Structure 1
Amino acid sequence: MTSAPHLSMTPQAVTATEQLRTPLRLRLRPNALSAGHVDGAWWPRSRDLAAELPALLAVLAVRLGDIPRVSYNLTEWDTAPRQIAVGGVRVRLGGFWSRPPHTVDVVAGDRRRLTLLLVPPDTDPSAAHRSMMRAAHRENTDTVEVLLRGAEVSESTVDVVAAGGTRIPEQTFRGVR
């Protein structure tokens, strides 16, 4: 007796194979800290979540290990698949209207979570730099709204000058800049 082929009703995952070609615009707070509204900031180059996530998850895997889940606000991104495959790991993407705007949650296999400030792709580079530096500062407790507003130093819990640097933050990955 032979059986008929089994057809799955589950949609296939999109496989992300594109390598990081341009610097990832990411800043993270020191690993041990968890105070504040965000754990760092990410400034993607587009609103295509499936195209932007593989590079982000490859870098964050160094800190978190396998990352099987990402949740985001539906208004921030173009249409995205329900899952993608990154480095052999299926990553479930959850878009929600109720997620706080301008944030992305990255959830590790052991349930550790990083909440990243999502700097819109079309943000002026100077304003993006200020927001990212503030979000990644070890003593930052600013809300997402304050971080994105480009608030004056006096409104923020972070001294932007003390946060350091004048370049747009970039994360290097395997020697690529």
Structure 2
Amino acid sequence: MTLNHTSPSLDHRDVRQPLARRRPTLRLRLKPRRAARGFVDGAWWPRSPDLAAEVPGLLAVLGIRLGRIDRVVYNVNGWATAPARIRSGGNEVRLDGYPFQPVNTLYVVGANRKRMALLVVPPYTEPDYAHATMMTAAKPNSATTADDLLMVGVREASHLAAQHRWDSEGGAGKVRRP
């Protein structure tokens, strides 16, 4: 009787090296370039309250419209403690946090003084609410305030809850045909 011994193939990759991680898609909606400006130029939905970790991806995209970005102005009460400066795209960017900055807004300022105001949808917002809010903020002629934009999802949820109650209680009932 002959035994054939086959050794298992070995993977010689260094197991200490982490697998390449895919960056999550940036959750951002902007008004078209030539849209009439309202209170905000669009909406951003970060994944965490860590501004220093979240903002580099945002700046990479906004740099297409603004050029080199010098500064981000934010409300300090809406974010975890952030450093005064970060490196993004090879540039140093100031992170200026102020308590009087409108809550749930972020201003991104380019070196050429162009700026964009964004509604910040809180990170842990329910996805359907966040999507509705972002889509409304990005409408070309929307002049809705940040506070009103954040109520979009609440109003929509209230409407859906009322509709669900109506349906679960029998709604209009079955229509009888003669």
What range describes the TM-score normalised by the shorter chain of this pair?
A: 0.7 to 0.9
2:30 and 2:71 map into 1 onto residues whose CA distance is: 19
Structure 2 counterparts to residues 76-155 of structure 1, below 5 A: 76-150=78-152, 152=155
Question: Residue in 1 aligned with 2:66?
Answer: 64
Structure 1: any 5+ residue segments left out of the alignment? 1-18, 154-177
> What is the CA deviation profile of residues 122-158 of structure 1, one whole-angstrom value per residue up to 9, with x for unaligned ones?
10100000100000000101111110012648xxxxx
- Check conservation: 1:104, 1:117, Cα contact below 8 A: yes
Following TM superposition, the consecutive aligned residue runs of length 4 or more in structure 1 with deviations greater than 4 angstroms are: none
- The number of residue pairs the alignment matches comes to 135
From the CA coordinates, give the structure whose radius of gyration is larger. Answer: 2
2:100 and 2:36 map into 1 onto residues whose CA distance is: 22
Greater share of helix: 2
> What is the CA deviation profile of residues 68-108 of structure 1, one whole-angstrom value per residue up to 9, with x for unaligned ones?
10000011100000000111100000000110010000001
1:35 and 1:64 map into 2 onto residues whose CA distance is: 15
Structure 2: any 5+ residue segments left out of the alignment? 1-20, 157-178
Q: Which has the higher contact order (CA 8 A, sep 6+)?
A: 1
- Check conservation: 1:49, 1:78, Cα contact below 8 A: yes
1:35 Cα deviation from its structure 2 partner: 2.2
Match of 2:39 among 33, 37, 44: 37
Superposition RMSD in Å:
1.5
TM-score, scaled relative to structure 1: 0.73
